[in-house]
Amino acid sequence: MERTRLQRLTGAVVLIAAAVILYPVLFTSEQADESLNLTIPEPPPAPEIPEYVEQINRPLAIPEEPADFEPPPEVAAESTSPSGVEKTPPTLDTEGLPISWTLQLAAFSQADNANVLQDKLRKDGYRAYTREGSAADNKSLYRVYVGPDLRKDKLLELRRAIEQSYSLKGMVVRFRP
């Protein structure tokens, strides 16, 4: 008796499912279909590209200064720092990104030593960070850096100050993010 009951229930479920699926197809009127046809308005024309956008996409053109141009005395005095290092403006690489510089101070074989120096530099107000690299014998090296900065001359002055206070001779290297 259970088998016949199961067959009846299965048949009833199939009939209900068929009714649910076929009801909208059989009993919808054509008037309802016509009311669903919406007209899509024509999209507005694309806006014109402003001139300044075209200028952004062009390569950077640096205007040349006239031959008789002399900077004002206060600007000429600022072009060299008190320590005699000539200030250089930031430059761009081949991809159009600014070239950044960083000061490498030390390299340690143990991460703890690098972190101690980094913490000491940060405590004194320097922007210090460490990076892990490898030496020639595939051992890990932990390098301590200060920076980065867009102006190399700033880092050269910073190197002198750190050399006096920490007795570390650093070297200015190109910053690679």
Q: What's the pLDDT tens digit per position in 84-105? A: 555 666 677 777 778 888 999 8
pLDDT tier, 10 (very low <50, low <70, confident <90, very high otherwise): very high
Higher pLDDT, 71 or 150: 150
Report the alpha-carbon distance of residue 168 to residue 165 in Å, rounded: 8
User: 22 is written with which tokens?
Assistant: 């076929």
Q: Assign 2 to helix, strand or coil.
A: helix
* pLDDT at residue 63, as a whole number: 55
Report the alpha-carbon distance of residue 158 to residue 125 in Å, rounded: 12
| Mean residue pLDDT across the chain | 78
Most confident of 45-54, 60-69, 76-85, 142-151: 142-151
Which helix (H) or strand (E) segment is 21 a member of? helix 2-27
Mean pLDDT of the region 47-58: 65
Contact 99, 150 (CB under 8 A): yes
Q: What is the pTM of this model?
A: 0.49
Report the alpha-carbon distance of residue 161 to residue 158 in Å, rounded: 5
Topology at the third CATH level for domain 57-174 = Alpha-Beta Plaits (3.30.70)
* pLDDT at residue 77, as a whole number: 46
* pLDDT at residue 9, as a whole number: 93
In one-letter notation, the amino acid at residue 154 is K
Higher pLDDT, 9 or 97: 9
Q: Is the pLDDT of residue 76 over 50?
A: no
Report the alpha-carbon distance of residue 49 to residue 51 in Å, rounded: 6
Q: Is the pLDDT of residue 152 over 90?
A: no
Alpha carbon dihedral 67, 73, 75, 78, in 10-degree steps, equals: 120
* pLDDT at residue 115, as a whole number: 92
Contact 142, 114 (CB under 8 A): yes
Report the alpha-carbon distance of residue 113 to residue 146 in Å, rounded: 16
Q: Assign 125 to helix, strand or coil.
A: coil
Report the alpha-carbon distance of residue 88 to residue 154 in Å, rounded: 9
Rounded to 5°, the CA angle 106-117-127 comes to: 90
pLDDT digits (tens, 9 = 90+) for 27-45: 776 555 566 667 778 888 8
> Residue 77, Cβ neighbours under 10 Å: how many?
9
